[in-house]
Amino acid sequence: MDELYYLYALTWADCPPGDFGPGLDARYAVELAPCGRIAALVSRVGTDKFDVSKFQSGTADLAWVSKMALRHNEIVQDLARRTPVLPLRLAVLFRSKSSLLETLERCEAQVVEFLRSLGDRQEWAVKVYLDRPQAERAIPGDCSANPRDAQRASGGAGTAYLAHRRQKLNRSQQLVRVINQEVKTVEAELQPLTDAWHRLRTLSPELTARPEKMVWNGAFLVSKAAEAAFRDTAQRLRTDLGGKGLIVEASGPWPPYHFCPALGQ
């Protein structure tokens, strides 16, 4: 059986030692591999358990990939609670420990620069979902009028139908304007409390496992000193916007996945 080296994250070489538990392949423990001023959090994986070709081609079993992603993130989070980290995405693999160390040597200066600039900052995620029935109820006016009632009032079925369609279109456009305005409020309230932020693509209900549609998604880099204010502001936004049909969800702290440099560039 061949073995590969799986890379989870990079950190300082003087990271406090600890037991990180088993890796993605439970037969092998997670360990720190130092190289100059930095160290790699790695574990070995057997090719009988980790089919690289299927993973890279996107044909790996989804349930297996989800299980691997969950364990990967648990391991990275464990390290992030102890020290600044540069987290790696899923399935960064090396054929040997020597090839891993060669890569670390080439990117050492870049990793050191990132870890120094990161300091004690960690990532917070904020997502906004639309509770459409509540949002429509919060819009002034009544969109519940029956076309037959309008027909009796106007004397014409065609005229009543067009008027009802126009009313629904106007309210849909109004709802879009309200959503756009309120997500700008979310950005404006949270941005001053952070050192960097990114607007991310929204996720489908299949990925969120929620009935509500995601209408906004963001990642924020927050220092320890600003963490309480950020969390309190997110909670206030959740309360303020809940009556308007917008559900604000903040979670963290997380490793800074969305703020890492592309190594080697």
Tens digits of residue pLDDT in 179-194:
999 999 999 999 999 9
**Local structure of residue 2 (DSSP, 8 states):** -
The predicted pLDDT at position 164 comes to 54
Higher per-residue pLDDT: 100 or 47: 100
159: helix, strand or coil: helix
Q: Is the pLDDT of residue 19 over 70?
A: yes
Q: Is the pLDDT of residue 233 over 60?
A: yes
What are the extents of the domains in the chain?
3-118, 122-259
Higher per-residue pLDDT: 83 or 147: 83
Whether the CB-CB separation of 114 and 12 falls below 8 Å is answered with: no
Which CATH number describes the domain made up of 122-259?
A: 3.30.70
Question: Burial, 146: exposed, middle or buried (Cβ in 10 Å; 0-12, 13-18, 19+)?
Answer: exposed
Rounded Cα distance between 183 and 237, Å, is: 10
The predicted pLDDT at position 3 comes to 86
Higher per-residue pLDDT: 69 or 51: 69
Query: For 116, phi and psi rounded to 5 degrees?
Result: -65, -45
Whether the CB-CB separation of 151 and 252 falls below 8 Å is answered with: no
Measured distance between the N- and C-terminal CA atoms of the chain, rounded to whole angstroms? 34
Q: Record the pTM.
A: 0.81
Whether the CB-CB separation of 197 and 218 falls below 8 Å is answered with: yes
Q: Is the pLDDT of residue 247 over 90?
A: yes
Rounded Cα distance between 18 and 39, Å, is: 14
Of 90, 88, 34, the residue nearest 62 (C-alpha): 90
Rg (CA), the chain: 25
Rounded Cα distance between 50 and 44, Å, is: 10
245: left (phi over 0), alpha (psi -120 to 50) or beta: left
Flag the least confident range among 40-44, 89-93, 240-244: 89-93
Please give the average per-residue pLDDT across 4-16, as a whole number: 93
Residues 6+ apart with CB under 8 A from 56: 91
Rounded Cα distance between 254 and 26, Å, is: 24
Average pLDDT, the chain: 87
